[in-house]
Each structure stands twice: as C-alpha cells, then as structure tokens.
Structure 1
Amino acid sequence: MAEVATSATSEQLLVVVDPVARRSDGESVRIAKDVLGAGASMKVCLPDDPDEFARALRRRGSRRPVVVGDDRALIRAVALLHRHRELAGCALSVVPVGGALSLARSLGVPTGTVAAARAVLDGAERRMDLLVDDSDGVVLGALRIPPVTAAPQEAEPEATDPGRPWLRTCQSLVRTLVPAARPSRLAAEPGPGPSRLRVEVDGETLVDLDQPVEAVSVSPGADGTASVEVRPVSVGAEASPLLAEGRTVTVSGAHFRYRADAVVSGPVRTRTWVVREGAWGLTLPPGA
C-alpha cells in the first residue's frame, strides 16, 4: 500500500483511494488529489485490496477520512467503522469515482469530481440515520426484497486478427451454417415471482404470509424511524401499497434474498433491521 503525504493548511485528511477507482478512472482520482491537496494537509493511501483499505482506515489517527471511490467503497468504509464502533466519533467524506454512484447522489454528495472535492474542504458534517440488521450489517440508503435482477451483459464482439482476413470469411460462413445460439438462461428467465412474507413494524404485522407481495422496501426515514413500503400482488386493479414507519422492521417467511444499497445478501428466513438515529456523519456541501 503506497502512502504519500502533502501539506497545505492545518486540517488533516486521510485520503483513501479505492483500488477499483484507480483502475477505472485514474484521471478523476488525480483531479481529486490535486483539489484536496491544494486545500488541506493530507496523507494519501493507495490500498491494493479490501484488507489494506480496512487497515488504512483503522490507522487514520486524528485525520478525517476521505474515501475516493464508488458506492461500494463508501458502504465498505461505513460498515468497517460500525463494526469497530467508531462511527460516532468519525465524520466521513467521499469523492465519488466509478460507475455506481447512485447512493452517493441520493445522500446529497456531488458526483462531479471537483465539486465533491470542494465539498470535502468547505462542507459540513450531517448526521444520518443508519439501518443495522441482526447480523451487524448496515444499510445507508435503502433495501429491497426481492433484489432487482441485473440485466444480462451483451456478448463482446468477436476479435479478428487483421493480418488474417480469411479468418473473418470463415467465421461468417460458420455463422450461416450453424443455427443461432439459444438465448442465455439469465436472459430468458422471468423476474422473481410473488413472495409470501410476514413484515412486522415495531411488533405490529403490516402484511402476513397469506398475502403474496411483489416487493418490500425499507429505508431510513426521519427522526429515527424507517419508512416501509409493501406492494401486495394485485388482482385486477392495481393494489395500493401498504405504508408504515417504525424503529424496528422484521421480515420473515420462506428463504429470501434482499438488496441492501449495492449488495445482495441471503437467502435468509428472517432478518430484523433497527434504526440507529444519527449513527454516522457525512460531509456535504454548504446548504445541502
């Protein structure tokens, strides 16, 4: 893990650059370091894997941690600090770099590199609620049951050696003689069907196993409560969603998977989430 120290003002930053961000968009990483280094004293850590990422955060000392990376890097940082019970005394900052930035955007972080780096320097900490489950997992934004299925990736075009044009002719001939390949199983399979789940909010049953549901979503709301939405299976006219708010949400039933922020977990038979009010701090632009 490479470390570089620079000096500007008296504020101390620990800039941890996620390895995925370095590989996917090195130019944005360079810009982020330039902007941050011009406004604060910083130590830059370039971990090569999640273990080094974790060690860098654990050894931050009095420096304010700044994560340069995508949503998964932010989630990893919050989960690590929660696991070591260090969230209360640590305000995180993030400069989003990478392909998956919807969580950072929904939290109010600018997704432009320069704007996000300036928000790190000029912004203010905002305390946010956190969902914590009974396996000590965390949810920053929202969870969904069942998880949204990712679209299948398109096949990459065939590569042909430019020095052997006859190979392209042979490939074309083979395609005309061989029937088209069957669609992949992933592309052909329909999405997940209705689920039979019991959803309880603060001990009160919102929906029971006798009512099939299409989807359940839970997200941190306001004032230490979670917002819960259950969409029952409709018969004829579209069924109205069932809404509730509470501090504790328990889902149980047949084995189910769920998507918490950017991570799919499960299958599990039961899971309980509890709202931790103001559990973590994120630096946001002034007035955000």
Structure 2
Amino acid sequence: MTEVAPSDQLLVVIDPVARRSDGESVRIAKDVLSAGAATKVCLPDGPEEFARALARRGSRRPVVVGDDRALLRAVSLLHRQRALGACAVSLVPVGGVLSLARSLGVPMGAVAAARAVLDGVERRMDLLVDDSDGVVVGALRIPSVPALDPVSAPVPVGGLSDGRLPWLRTCQSLVRTLASASRPGRVGASVATPGPFRLRVEVDGVLLVDLDQPVEAVSVTPGVLGGAEVEVRPVSVGAAVAPLRVVGRRVTVSGADFRYRADAVVGGPVRTRTWVVREGAWGLTLPVG
C-alpha cells in the first residue's frame, strides 16, 4: 500500500442520487473533508457533468460521494481517460447499493469513510478489461441476472399492498403469462430462471468447457495476485457435477448471443468477448491497517 498525503487537494464529486437519498450524510462527509484538506466540491446533475468534473480535476485527488454505481462510473471514466494509474480513487459510500464498497473494505459511516480519505493509504487492485474497453471491478456474471419485470413488481395503490387487492394479483399474473409467451427466448428477456446455456470458455488459451457441455453460469472475479478466479457451473444431469474452478489472466467466452453482468452493468448480447486482468490497474484509498 502507498501512503496518501493528508495535504492533497481533493475533488469531491457528489453523486445526485446520494444528494437525494441521504443529504445529511453528504453534508457530514463534505464538512469532514473540507476541515481536513483543500477541497473543490462538484455537484453534477447527470453522467455528462460527472464525466466533465473528473476530466477537469487537474492534480486534485478524486473523491466520490455516492454508492457502488457512482464508484463504478468513476473507475470506468478514469480508465477511458487512461488516468487510473496516476491517481487513487476515494469513496464515501452514501446510498442504497453498497455491497461492492463493503466488500472492498470501505468504511460504511460517512465520518469514518471521510477520515479514511484524509488519513488512509492507497491499495492497488486488479481490474478486468474487456475487448470493448469495458471494466469489471467486483465480479462478472454470465448470463446476466434478469432484472425484475415491471409487470411482476408489486404495485401499491392508495397505500394498500397487493395482498388486499386480489383482482390486481390476478391481472398481473395474466399479463406475465401473456408477456412471457410473446417474448423471444433470449438471455435476460424473461423473469424465469435462465439456462442452461451452451458456451465455450477458454482461460489462458486452454479450453475449460465447450459448446457440447451446457452450463448454468460462469463467473469471473479479478484480484487474485494478478489473476482472476473463473468458475463454470455445468448443468448436472442425474449425479451432481462439481463446479470447474481455475485461475487465469485471460478469459474468452463465446457462443450464441449471450448477455453478461459486469458489476451492476448488463452488457451484450455478444457472440464472443474476452476479458484480461490488468494487475494493480487502479487504486482505492482505504483505512490504515
């Protein structure tokens, strides 16, 4: 780890979702950061302003106040600006989607996280980069987990739950049935459990599974000493089949059109995609110890 100088100038980019969801935590974080360092605070209203703020940061160290999605947006933008190697990213987690921040070791409280920004150390981490210049910080999943279909979500009416509206449940069930019958059978298009899939998976040029072996899922996680953990779960027919697990630096997946989830972002459909581990490609400021 590399020590972060407390006198650094900070560019504090406050995500609009954080401002709407928890203004008090945002205010506390801003006060702690401003008391400990020279700060420039940016309040972008959308992705374009968010990107411009990072592009114009100069020598300031970027601090993102927001949730996992804001962190991923910052890492992706800095990667495309080829600036990840020159600066550490800091995060004060505010919002409802914080599982990635927690897994990375970022403190969850606004005060503790802001103090870690000021007094912490930079930890270099691996990154997965695909052949379209997309990045993966936490995990890659194939196929992508289907999003909740709008017609299947509970619909509150006048403050009542659907448990008190049986006619609403009946209508939703009918709409789901008709919708699923009319959809084409592509990955991620239905709320039903997906699979099986026929995919060809190669790790460092070695074939792990071919199209003749249907699989339930593939996952790739960066950060294992310059390698990525790859897990393939074959479909079990009769007897249980153990997952295939290997560590490698280059992962290529091909097959019929498939979708994938890179952290919180769904990509595809594609016929083939390759992900390569970039060792120590980005830095995150974390508490000492």
Aligned-residue offset at 1:159:
5.8
Distance 1:209 1:53 in 2: 42
**CA-CA distance at 1:176 after TM superposition:** 8.5
- Partner residue in 2 for 1:265: 267
CA distance in structure 2 between the aligned counterparts of 1:205 and 1:147, rounded to whole angstroms = 22
Match of residue 183 from structure 2: none
Question: 2:257 corresponds to which residue?
Answer: 255
Task: Tell whether the 8 Å contact from 2:127 to 2:223 is kept in structure 1 after alignment.
Answer: no
Distance 2:9 2:169 in 1: 63
1:195 corresponds to which of 172, 194, 197: 197
Identity %: 74
Matched, 1:126 2:123: yes
Equivalent position SS for 2:155: coil
Q: Hey, what's the Cα distance between the residues in 2 that align with 1:100 and 1:177?
A: 33
CA contact (8 A) 2:139 2:262 kept: yes
Between 253-262 and 235-244, the greater mean CA deviation after superposition: 235-244
Question: How far is 1:240 from its partner?
Answer: 0.2
Number of residues paired by the alignment? 266
CA distance in 2, matches of 1:23, 1:178: 31
Deviation at 1:178, TM superposition (A): 9.0
- Residue 181, structure 1, aligned to residue 183, structure 2: no
- Code of the residue aligned with 1:264 in structure 2: it is V
Matched, 1:51 2:84: no
In the superposition, relative to structure 1, how do residues 223 and 30 fare at CA in structure 2: closer, same or farther (>3 Å)?
same
Of 66, 71, 80, which residue of structure 2 is paired with 1:69? 66
Out of 175-184 and 138-147, give the one that drifted further.
175-184
Give the distance between the partners of 1:204 and 1:150, measured in 2 at CA. 33
Question: Which residue is 1:165 aligned to?
Answer: none
Counterpart in 2 of 1:22? 19
Matched with 1:85 is: 82
Give the whole-Å Cα distance in 1 for the aligned partners of 2:166 and 2:197: 44
Over 3 Å counting, the alpha-carbon distance change for 1:145 and 1:178 in structure 2 is closer
Gap runs ≥5 in structure 1: 1-8, 161-171
Q: Which amino acid aligns with 2:271?
A: R
Equivalent residue of 1:181, what SS? helix
Q: C-alpha distance in 2, partners of 1:153/1:24? A: 22
User: What does the per-residue CA deviation read over 1:4-60, in whole Å, with 9 as the maximum and x for residues that have no partner?
Assistant: xxxxx7431110001111111111111110111121111110011111111111111
CA contact (8 A) 2:18 2:65 kept: yes
What amino acid sits opposite 1:157 in the alignment? V
What is the root-mean-square deviation in Å for CA atoms of aligned residues?
Answer: 2.1
Q: Distance in 2 between matches of 1:177 and 1:279?
A: 54
Quick check: which has more Rg, 1 or 2?
1
For the structure 1 residues 181 and 110, does the alpha-carbon distance in structure 2 shift closer, same or farther, using more than 3 Å as the test? Answer: same
Residue correspondence of structure 1 range 1-288 to structure 2 within 5 A? 10-151=7-148, 152-158=152-158, 180-183=170-173, 184-185=175-176, 189-287=191-289
Gap change, CA 1:125 and 1:178, over 3 Å in 2? closer
For 1:275 and 1:258, locate their aligned partners in 2 and report how far apart those are by CA, in whole Å.
17
Structure 1 distance, partners of 2:75, 2:211, is: 34
**What's the secondary structure of 2:58's corresponding residue?**
coil
Residue identity in the other structure for 1:57: L
Structure 1 runs, 4 residues or longer, greater than 6 Å off: 175-179
Structure 1 pair 136–178 and aligned structure 2 pair: CA distance change class (3 A):
closer
CA distance in 2 between counterparts of 1:140 and 1:17 reads: 20
- The alignment partner of 2:281 has SS state of strand
Measure, in 2, the Cα distance between the counterparts of 1:178 and 1:268. Answer: 38
In the superposition, the TM-score normalised over structure 2's length comes to: 0.87
Which sections of structure 2, spanning at least 5 residues, go unmatched? 1-5, 181-189
